[in-house]
Amino acid sequence: MRAAAIDLFLTLAAVSAWLACWGLLRFGTPLARLHWVAFVNAVTGAAVTIAVWLQDGFSDRAMKSLAILVILVAAGSATTHAAARAIFLRAGRKR
């Protein structure tokens, strides 16, 4: 049962990455594409982290994967915000 749950979360990570690739191709504006970048950052990282926790339980590797997820989400949201602001300013709009 646990192996099936691990496979499910890893499959979710792969499917969300492919869905984000589709979204990057489908959406036309750079601001709309940033939504997919943020989506893949959060969903894929969380799914892999949950799979690691299911595999190892409370361990050093699981704690490291959680720390990486927190840093990844924080850095990803800051980078997405900065990129959106740069796109917004480059288009000549202010706030």
What's the pTM? 0.84
Is residue 28 very low, low, confident or very high in pLDDT (cuts 50, 70, 90)? Answer: confident
Angle at 26 between CA 24 and CA 27, to 5 degrees: 75
User: Does the pLDDT at position 59 exceed 70?
Assistant: yes
**9: CB partners within 8 A, 6+ apart:** 47, 48, 50, 51, 54
What is the pLDDT averaged over residues 47-74? 95
What pLDDT does residue 31 have? 85
Contact 20, 37 (CB under 8 A): yes
Query: Distance (Å, rounded) from C-alpha 74 to C-alpha 77?
Result: 5
pLDDT > 90 fraction of the chain, expressed in percent and rounded: 64
